[in-house]
Structure 1
Amino acid sequence: MLSDMPHFDATAARLHAARRAHELAELQARSANAAQGPERVDVLVIGGGVTGAGIALDAATRGLDVLLVDAHDLAFGTSRWSSKLAHGGLRYLASGHVGIAKRSARERGILMESTAPHLTRTLSQVTPVQDRYPLPVNVLSRLGFLGGDFLRVLAGTSGKTLPRSRTISKKRVRELCPAVETSDLRFGYVNNDGQLVDDARLVTALARTAAGYGARVLTYTRAEEIATDGAGGRVTLTDTLADSTGGDPTSFQVEAGVIVNATGVWAGGMEPQVKIRPSRGTHLVIDADKVGNPTGALTVPVPGHGTRFCFILPEQLGRCYVGITDEDYGTDEIPDVPEVPDSDVRFILDVVNQALAVDLTPDDVLGAFAGLRPLVQFTEDADSSTADLSREHIILRGKDATGADTDVVTVTGGKLTEYRLMAEQTVDVVASILGDSGIHAGPCVTENTPLIGAPGSDAAVGVSTADFAGLPTSLVDRFGFEAPAVVRGATVGRPLETVGTTDSTRDIDVTRAEFEFHVTHEGALTVDDLLDRRTRIGLVDGDRAAAEQTAREILDEVLPTLV
């Protein structure tokens, strides 16, 4: 029951450089004290993506002592490279993965109606019915949308949140997706799905909410070595921020009752039982003006594939993301930031141009990003394409050289939309292990725990409609009920001034107050944290150049004031 949860502390939900330095110093001092020995926590979670942050929140709300670490920033890996959708699982229904489809639809509803309605919105997905496509393609699209309606009802999601699919007129298709080719357009189908304001913002909200319930969150802290002894484990951690700034990297040790490997596509490097087959998903970034500033997502079938589509997705900052690929990356060394090959750019443009009145070219591509999906490969999947591999997740307990269980639990695979369920199931395993040593966890409560900034969260207490007066809509979209506090607490000059103007004289609709809040509350430590993860300004080189100086100025001004 919610009444059994630990108390949420809004001050503890503030992540910033001074707090990180203090917590690191405490852990380092304990590690160096031979009499006391290293700090011991119930759960040490390695990996600050959506899965790791979700696990930290689940464990903290069950009353466990939690430490979350990542070698880089929050959402540094795959969790910032998604399509920014809270999928209802239509594709998986079409491919026969009914279980994933049902779970995705249910978790989507929880995100949109309970835990993060401030970070999600309803997105109209539009499939134009054009003569250029074979009749079966058009019929299957409509049948798929009807299946989506069934999933939504089965999940218990309100029709007000996600209205049922329907057939729409040629005129309405053009209103939602102005760039669509109309010469052979008959009508269209529209389905409603969930869209995240941003995936990295979801991760940040999860980590901050976990911190508010007592978890410690240390970014730029790499897990170097794990040793287990049958009664938990000992992890050697290194402060990688000191290393990157020219200081001496400091290593120290922490003990944990259970260590959770939530490193996603890198999980196999820590757990040899896991065979990861990465799949590269690429998106292109274009100016929304180029395709008429759509409000709906144009859905275009990939020729020769019954269940694959490319999308033109309306996004923040006046952009659209166009994708997505599903290409086998191979099993070579996995980079921190995957590159986008020219072949992906050509593939995506060739697919979406089939349905457009305009012809998108590589010159229209302002930026691009690729993420590596952590697909779990089973023996029977060895000859399958990554597009056909299951998106199921796995949770398993490690084995030592003798075959005995260790206290390391690995979770990987799965989909962003299912992060909460993956976290719940992982912490169930963790709780079982800890229970054997007399440490008892409460029940899972994350289904009804609002993330910071959501309606019903601590940030919403005492906030009225009047508090939002005069605030930019974009700021409210990104911060929900925290938006008034972002501006009210700003100390930098000209808080509502935007952070830069591009070469095309377009203002970037991120304010100086937001940059400050990212530093004082959301753990941003570097310019890259600000431009690449707390905001998505850095996806476009020209926008990055326009905002970089402001980012440096605010970091230099604000960091020394933190205590």
Structure 2
Amino acid sequence: MKISASHLTAENRSRALEAMSDDEGVDILVIGGGITGAGIALDAATRGLRTAVVEAGDWASGTSSWSSKLVHGGLRYLYNLDFHLVSEALTERGLLLSRIAPHLVKAQPFLWPLKMPVIERTYSAVGIGMYDALARIGARGRKILPNQRHYTKKGARQLFPDIKSDALTGAIRFFDARVDDARLVVDVVRTAAGYGALAANRTQVTELLKSSTGRVVGARITDLETGTERTVTARHVVNATGVWTEQTERLGGTEAGLKVLASKGIHIVVPRDRINAETGIFLRTEKSVLFIIPWQRYWVIGTTDTPYEQNYSRPVATREDIDYVLEHANAILDTPLTRDDILSTYAGLRPLLQPVVEKEDETQSTKVSREHTVTEVAPGLSAIAGGKLTTYRVMGRDAVDFALGATAKARPSVTQDIPLVGAEGFEAARNRADAIARERGWTAARVDSLLERYGSEIDDVLELIDEDPTWGRPLEHAPAFLRAEVLLAVRYEGALHLEDILIRRVRLDMEQRDRGLAAAEEIIEIAAAELGWSQETRTKELETYRRRVESMAAAETHDDDASAAAEVTADTEIAPKIALHS
């Protein structure tokens, strides 16, 4: 199998680190490998800029892997009459569904239960009707998803039999979309690398470098895999580190820039057969919104919205968080969920953008959208924060426009026309699904799963199996996944450790009660052969992950964030970040 630039192999990572620290330097250095940083790297690379992107953890290891996993316009924003924001997000939803990532982003129907038969149905119908209309405007008249449909109480319960009889008088069905958030980030980074971006995860910026005039001209970086320090010179540095925005800004020796607060949102995951329904549910709560979202093998239910002041690297769900989600879900479910039904929980931190901090230099500029902001922190250094998963492409475009300044018009963004890896030829691959199932003796569900993960790159999976049929065997303790998928996580998708595979590639951390621990030894065997691990390294990888599983379970027995966070210590991470004092 030929290795290409878009394959995030360990070897390609090493080459990227060498190249970004050469004498030529880069046009743009992006700090942060979540969806925002990935989107900036792709935008910059496809404009022909020499681009580097580094991430202190694994790709998507922060906020971007712990979202509600939705691509949506933000129906609730219509209550605030924020039509521009909703329209922008719906336009991006349409692009992702139809052109950019149709293999990853899937149409998802939701029910909006109604309690009052006339008044509520009327104003909800108007709101959702506007939602549908804005989506068509963004898609230039094309109808990408079905319009709303109204149901009586009986009709709604046929779609969602497990809803309580007294929880609704009827319902409106509308469509949004769902996505595996971590895979989206990895595919954006891969696509950027395919267009020449130099990408290195597990690489931490430890210092921002300045010229004698005070301009930021690059960064000192440390490869956390080897401990090697390097210097990257850059014409412009973009801080896209989410909840770590202020810490990164301080590396430049300034208190100016963006102020970001962290808000914790948690989700629980329950087996697919535990709720009898064909659609998802959307509800507004007193603190946030409640989504009950169906996936192939499980349901994702959340979320919460609470301030968070503990270690940003290790947010966890507390007992109180879990009880809150269960309480709100059970308010509408006919057969209540219990803690015994929960496969897993996860917690993520939303970066809540605060008013722009007053700058030391009034000549510095700021671009504020309705949901994200780009600002100049210091000459040569900008920061971007806010926004959401759905509008990552817009954020990437705005950040690069800001960095280029007056020259941006001569090099406009082209990412609206750039399909991600696996998207080109996806429809043709999907048309072969039945044939693939017959030829391989697979179920339709397995082929669908592979298509949703790899798109047209399903042919790479098939090629691997043709070369060695053992790659076509299911994992012994996780039969929904093939051994080939573990190999591709390392060979294509930048996984360097067991936790990268289990948490953000194969994602058994989310859908198995032991967070994939039973499958860990087989996964280690595959990864070790590809990455050249010694027996000592294998043992360390397994034991570190085992401690993580145990600590997560312990954290969920506490009611407060401080006690829960204390359970998840540095020895549960295979490569903790360097502590910075700035």
Interval containing the TM-score (normalised by the shorter chain): 0.7 to 0.9
Q: CA deviation at 1:334?
A: 4.1
Per-residue Cα deviation, 1:207-244 (whole angstroms, up to 9, x for no partner): 010011001110100000002226651200001123xx
Mapped partners of 2:9, 2:410: distance in 1? 28
Per-residue Cα deviation, 1:99-153 (whole angstroms, up to 9, x for no partner): 22121111111111111111111111112335xx797655544333222122212
Query: Which residue is equivalent to 2:295?
Result: 315
Per-residue Cα deviation, 1:172-211 (whole angstroms, up to 9, x for no partner): 4334323211356533210111211x01111011001001
Query: Which secondary structure state, in structure 2, belongs to the residue aligned with residue 174 of structure 1?
Result: helix
Per-residue Cα deviation, 1:482-510 (whole angstroms, up to 9, x for no partner): 11212213466522322243xxxxx5412
Identify the match of residue 193 of structure 2 among 211, 217, 222.
Answer: 211
Query: Which residue is equivalent to 1:168?
Result: 151
Query: Which residue is equivalent to 2:572?
Result: none
Query: Which secondary structure state, in structure 1, belongs to the residue aligned with residue 161 of structure 2?
Result: coil
Query: Which residue is equivalent to 2:64?
Result: 79
Is 1:13 equivalent to 2:18 in the alignment? no
Query: Which residue is equivalent to 1:245?
Result: none
Identity among equivalent pairs (%): 36
Query: Which residue is equivalent to 1:476?
Result: 451
Is 1:114 equivalent to 2:99 in the alignment? yes
| Matching residue's letter, 2:521 | Q
Q: How does 1:274-289 map to 2 (within 5 A)?
A: 274-289=258-273
Give the conservation status (yes or no) of the 8 Å contact 1:232–1:259: yes
CA RMSD of aligned residues (A): 2.8
Query: Which secondary structure state, in structure 1, belongs to the residue aligned with residue 421 of structure 2?
Result: coil
| Matching residue's letter, 1:173 | A
Q: How many residues are treated as equivalent by the alignment?
A: 504
| Matching residue's letter, 1:58 | D
Identify the match of residue 498 of structure 1 among 443, 467, 474.
Answer: 474
Query: Which residue is equivalent to 2:171?
Result: 188
Q: Which runs of 5+ in 2 are unaligned?
A: 250-254, 358-368, 534-582
Query: Which residue is equivalent to 2:405?
Result: 432
Mapped partners of 1:233, 1:336: distance in 2? 28
Identify the match of residue 389 of structure 2 among 416, 419, 439.
Answer: 416
CA distance 1:235–1:266, shift in 2 (3 Å): same
Query: Which residue is equivalent to 2:418?
Result: 449
Give the conservation status (yes or no) of the 8 Å contact 2:26–2:50: yes
Is 1:291 equivalent to 2:284 in the alignment? no
Is 1:367 equivalent to 2:340 in the alignment? no
Query: Which secondary structure state, in structure 2, belongs to the residue aligned with residue 161 of structure 1?
Result: coil
CA distance 1:169–1:134, shift in 2 (3 Å): closer
Query: Which secondary structure state, in structure 1, belongs to the residue aligned with residue 169 of structure 2?
Result: strand
TM normalised by structure 2 equals 0.80
Query: Which residue is equivalent to 2:483?
Result: 512
Mapped partners of 1:355, 1:480: distance in 2? 36
CA distance 1:159–1:326, shift in 2 (3 Å): farther
Query: Which residue is equivalent to 1:154?
Result: 137
Query: Which residue is equivalent to 1:534?
Result: 505
Query: Which residue is equivalent to 1:383?
Result: none
Mapped partners of 1:49, 1:468: distance in 2? 34
CA distance 1:148–1:461, shift in 2 (3 Å): closer
CA distance 1:463–1:407, shift in 2 (3 Å): farther
Mapped partners of 1:320, 1:168: distance in 2? 23
Query: Which secondary structure state, in structure 1, belongs to the residue aligned with residue 150 of structure 2?
Result: strand
Query: Which residue is equivalent to 2:27?
Result: 42
Mapped partners of 2:206, 2:527: distance in 1? 29
Is 1:342 equivalent to 2:342 in the alignment? no
Q: How does 1:261-280 map to 2 (within 5 A)?
A: 261-271=239-249, 272=255, 273-280=257-264
Q: Which runs of 5+ in 1 are unaligned?
A: 1-8, 31-37, 243-248, 381-389, 400-405, 502-506
Give the conservation status (yes or no) of the 8 Å contact 1:391–1:415: no
CA distance 1:138–1:233, shift in 2 (3 Å): same
Query: Which secondary structure state, in structure 2, belongs to the residue aligned with residue 531 of structure 1?
Result: helix
Per-residue Cα deviation, 1:493-535 (whole angstroms, up to 9, x for no partner): 522322243xxxxx54121111111111111111111110112
Is 1:395 equivalent to 2:368 in the alignment? no
Give the conservation status (yes or no) of the 8 Å contact 1:115–1:449: yes
Mapped partners of 1:527, 1:291: distance in 2? 31
| Matching residue's letter, 1:371 | G
Query: Which residue is equivalent to 2:222?
Result: 238
Per-residue Cα deviation, 1:323-343 (whole angstroms, up to 9, x for no partner): 0112222xx454212111222
Give the conservation status (yes or no) of the 8 Å contact 1:516–1:558: yes
Query: Which residue is equivalent to 1:6?
Result: none
CA distance 1:169–1:536, shift in 2 (3 Å): farther
| Matching residue's letter, 1:112 | L
Per-residue Cα deviation, 1:534-558 (whole angstroms, up to 9, x for no partner): 1221123425123212210110122
Mapped partners of 1:391, 1:269: distance in 2? 24
Q: CA deviation at 1:456?
A: 5.1
TM normalised by structure 1 equals 0.83
